[in-house]
Chains A and B, each alone.
Chain A
Amino acid sequence: MRTIQLEGVSIEKNGRQILTDINIEVRTGETLGIIGPTGAGKTTLLRVMDLIDLPSKGRVLFKGEAPKNEGERLAARRRIGVVFQRPVMLRGTVYDNVAYGLRIRRLSKDEIDERVEAALSDVGLKGYERRPAKVLSGGEMQRVALARALAISPELLLLDEPTANLDPRTSYVIEELISRAKMRGMTTVVSTHDLPQAVRLADRIVIIMDGRVVSSGSADLLLNSDSDDVRAFLHAGMLRPVDWRFIHEFARVSH
């Protein structure tokens, strides 16, 4: 069963080709890692999956159906949670931010209270409810953004470079939270340029370069690939296959 499928998706913005002929499927319950260097098109790919950006060519199917209009896209989007690379806090308190998605779904006050408390507890921010969200640290904001996405109980969780610019300790906390969501069977897509992180979190990995999928499969398959594109990616990432092999083993041992 597939949660989301991209079929021949291309995106062009301001005359620039961002994504070209992308074919990706995300199976229900799996964690898909999307790796690639900065500027490869990872963020745009996640925006397409969240149905925010519409493809210039190709189509996106959510649960086997391609939304035809904005109403259908909105209905699908309400079943997807997203955490952007740079978390944006809305006006108000931490509670207001986590409750935002629940309020617009017109849940009862009691249910909102319950879900906000559970989500904040999950991300280790219980007691932060009344704090103004815009003055939190970067790591705290990222955790609020994750709580905000988890509170709506999404069927698909999209994480765009969730630990970029965070210190190692906070990155570890965020990874733990993602692992817990994975253990609960949540379908997740994580984009990252951090190879060890992709290996730690993902069941399958897609490598994207210059807006094209250059390879996909399990970490082991990619590791043993003799594809020139994979080697090109490793080269672009300043990594030789032997380095990646080392990182792969290190990630497994340290996890």
Chain B
Amino acid sequence: MDEIARGFIRAVELIIELNPEVIEVTLRSFLIALTSVTIASLINVPLGSLIHFHHFPGRSGLINLIQTLYSIPTVTVGLFVFLLISREGPLGGYGLLYTPYGMIIGQTVLITPVILGLTISALSSVSEDIRDTAVSLGADRFQTMWTVIVEARGPVLAAVLLGFGRALSEVGVAMMIGGNIRGYTRVLTTAIALETSMGNLEISIALGLILISIALVVNTVVGRLQGW
């Protein structure tokens, strides 16, 4: 018990004194998750809008599949992307395995169902009356779509932030694709796993506290955005 308490005190000290290793790992995690969520949002918000606004055979089945993939295990995505970018895979020639770029691809794939599915849900929550009002005021198809997206901007941004939270806190893709290389692909989650296995509880707890704090901030902002 004393060891855990000492670990907590030392962890707080590490954060306060801006320990270089803690800061470096935190910044890398942020940068990789932020890049992944930006790419995933640029693809999936417009794609979600297209799925929402167009009726085609198999649409509801597709939405069901997307929602099922919300909880896909990160190691499964890690394995899929590993097969894709490993030397024998179709993208093997680009040398992406064990690089931050490979991790970005993996995290983008991982959070795609979350952002895509929640964007569709967010747009579905906008009343048909808004769409009718835009159309009746002379909006064309694109202007109507944009008006509905603006109406749902809070929940859509919440979807993006949830994707960011999932990317930041996942461990399967980071470990399998990044390889946890010190100073290159080591991020908060893989560092916690490694430091804990090595018995360096102070650093593990410090990194864990940072991760929990970020998750807390993200959840608070998501909560506020729902009603925005």
Expressed in whole angstroms, the Cα–Cα distance for A103 and B139 within the complex equals: 10
Query: Is the CB–CB distance between A104 and B150 below 8 Å?
Result: no
B132 at interface by CB-CB < 8 Å: yes
Whether A104 contacts B136 in the complex (CB less than 8 A), given A88-B129, A88-B130, A90-B130, comes out as no
A16 at interface by CB-CB < 8 Å: no
Whether A82 contacts B150 in the complex (CB less than 8 A), given A88-B129, A88-B130, A90-B130, comes out as no
User: A67 CB to closest chain B CB, in angstroms?
Assistant: 14
Query: Is the CB–CB distance between B151 and A84 below 8 Å?
Result: no
Expressed in whole angstroms, the Cα–Cα distance for A86 and B139 within the complex equals: 19
Query: Is the CB–CB distance between B133 and A104 below 8 Å?
Result: no
A45 at interface by CB-CB < 8 Å: no
Please report the total number of B residues contacting A with Cβ < 8 Å. 18
B137 at interface by CB-CB < 8 Å: yes
Q: Which of B127, B132, B138, B151 contacts A78 (CB 8 A)?
A: B138
- The A-B contact count (CB < 8 A) is 46
Query: Is the CB–CB distance between B136 and A50 below 8 Å?
Result: yes
User: A43 CB to closest chain B CB, in angstroms?
Assistant: 11
User: A201 CB to closest chain B CB, in angstroms?
Assistant: 21
Which residues from 133 to 159 on chain B have a C-beta closer than 8 Å to any C-beta of chain A? 133-141, 143, 147, 150-151, 153
User: B169 CB to closest chain A CB, in angstroms?
Assistant: 32
Query: Is the CB–CB distance between A88 and B127 below 8 Å?
Result: yes
User: B147 CB to closest chain A CB, in angstroms?
Assistant: 7
A148 at interface by CB-CB < 8 Å: yes
A200 at interface by CB-CB < 8 Å: no
Whether A77 contacts B150 in the complex (CB less than 8 A), given A90-B130, A104-B143, comes out as no
Expressed in whole angstroms, the Cα–Cα distance for A90 and B136 within the complex equals: 13
User: A200 CB to closest chain B CB, in angstroms?
Assistant: 25
Whether A104 contacts B139 in the complex (CB less than 8 A), given A90-B147, A91-B150, A91-B151, comes out as yes
| Secondary structure of the A contact surface, majority rule | loop
Kindly report which residue of chain A lies nearest to residue B139, judged by CB atoms: A104
Kindly report which residue of chain B lies nearest to residue A100, judged by CB atoms: B137
Expressed in whole angstroms, the Cα–Cα distance for A91 and B126 within the complex equals: 12
Kindly report which residue of chain A lies nearest to residue B153, judged by CB atoms: A91
Query: Is the CB–CB distance between A101 and B127 below 8 Å?
Result: no
Chain B residues with Cβ under 8 A from A104's Cβ? 137-140, 143
Q: Which of A70, A80, A84, A91 contacts B132 (CB 8 A)?
A: A84
Expressed in whole angstroms, the Cα–Cα distance for A248 and B130 within the complex equals: 37
List 6 A-B pairs, minimum CB-CB distance, nearest first: A78-B138, A101-B137, A82-B136, A88-B129, A88-B133, A104-B143
